[in-house]
Amino acid sequence: MIWLTWRQFRPQAIAAVGALAAMAIVLAATRPGLSSGYAAAGLSACHAHCATAASIFLDRVGNFDKFLDFGGVLLIIVAPVLMGLFWGAPLIAREVAEGTHRIAWNQSVTRTRWTIVKLGLVGLAAISTAGLLSLMVTWWASPIDAASLAGGSAQAGTGGNGVHITFNGFGEARLDPVIFDARGVAPLGYAALAFALGVTVGVLLRRTLPAMALTLVAFVAIQVLMPNFVRPHLLPPAHFTAPLSTQHGQVGTNVGTGITDIQLTGSFAKPGAWVLSDTVITPSGAQPSDIIMTPAGPEFTVLPRACTPTPGSGFNPVPCRETLAAMHLRQAVTYQPASRFWPLQWIETGIYLLLTAGLGWVCVWQVRRRRTP
């Protein structure tokens, strides 16, 4: 059974090894440049208050390396889907569709064993591929991740020569919903789940193409639902609250609407944290009803209703500031601290592996049901 599984999987295995090798060469060739940039920015020797050096390093990362960083993340997120589609969905569906299951199930091997060996071996291959990919990309991107953890942030378009391209998510913390999926052990769990999902859908639909389509839809749904609705609650989030200083709020006037408002800066500063919600509250904990507020990262744009300019009379910032100060506004943040990265990784991977085992059981049970002539 092992031989047959290997013989049938050989073309895909060769393709995967080829892709991994090509990737390893590109990453190994570009990584020294990244390391030396990291050292040159003084980060190797920096042990405390390294945010500035980290930002300098991140700003100096070249376009090609940014592209690789982005591509690496994308590849790790896409690879499980591909393995679910091209390794998982056809694994049994194709046999049934082409009638070869009638050969396979009439050798002196029970179909339970046939299913378990196929699932196990190709599943292990999928997990190993994702593991190698994750290991390579995590290693390559470790200077960027370290700089990000040290509080650095990339300011697109500042300094240096030439055009700077901004990639969404570059230099983001490891807990960022997208980066999280592409670091640590989560990709292994994703790969296992995508593969098992593909096989199960294939067994149920018994046709390869519809199985691939449904696997794609179902797995993308999981990839969207997990970070947005499940992961924030896997561990109870931490809370931060601190008074908002109204003294140094910048007064600005929106040219279009002519409305003047005040920008306040919150004091929440935890590098690498995953901010789940960031609001302004009154000392009693309630949402202030007498201001109009737009939160944006560490900054809030607030407009006390008392200050809404009336036609004819101009805007006077002084009573406005006083009104704001009297409110004793506070910043309230719910977040997952950077230290939760590994606990969250293990919990999420554990959930995926449990789901994978459940799907594997469904596959064996369905094949054993003997309803495919």
Contact residues for another protein, defined by CB under 8 A: 1-4, 7-8, 11, 98-100, 102-103, 105-111, 369-373
Least distance from another protein to the Cβ atom of residue 11, Å: 8
The DSSP symbol for 171 reads T
- Comparing CB distances to another protein, the nearer of 99 and 252 is 99
Q: Rounded to 10 degrees, what is the CA torsion of 339, 341, 344, 350?
A: -130
What is d(CA 229, CA 351) in angstroms, rounded to the nearest whole number?
A: 14
Bridge-based pairing of strands 250-253 and 260-265 is antiparallel
- Comparing CB distances to another protein, the nearer of 55 and 366 is 366
Continuous segment of H or E residues that includes residue 330: strand 330-336
On whether the CB atoms of residues 193 and 356 are closer than 8 A, the answer is yes
On whether the CB atoms of residues 196 and 130 are closer than 8 A, the answer is no
Least distance from another protein to the Cβ atom of residue 198, Å: 19
Cβ count near 102 (within 10 Å): 12
Least distance from another protein to the Cβ atom of residue 102, Å: 4
- Comparing CB distances to another protein, the nearer of 105 and 315 is 105
- Comparing CB distances to another protein, the nearer of 7 and 233 is 7
Least distance from another protein to the Cβ atom of residue 96, Å: 11
Q: Which two tokens stand for residue 136?
A: 């390579």
The DSSP symbol for 351 reads H
Least distance from another protein to the Cβ atom of residue 370, Å: 4
- Comparing CB distances to another protein, the nearer of 8 and 134 is 8
Q: Which two tokens stand for residue 50?
A: 């390294």
- Comparing CB distances to another protein, the nearer of 107 and 316 is 107
Least distance from another protein to the Cβ atom of residue 210, Å: 20
Q: Which two tokens stand for residue 243?
A: 């008074």
- Comparing CB distances to another protein, the nearer of 108 and 168 is 108
- Comparing CB distances to another protein, the nearer of 92 and 291 is 92
Least distance from another protein to the Cβ atom of residue 372, Å: 7
37-40 long-range contacts, CB within 8 A, separation 24+ = 37/61, 37/143, 38/143, 38/146, 38/147
Least distance from another protein to the Cβ atom of residue 12, Å: 11
Closest Cα to residue 143, out of 71, 66, 64? Answer: 66
Please return the burial class of 315, using the count of CB atoms within 10 Å of its CB with bins 0-12, 13-18 and 19+. middle
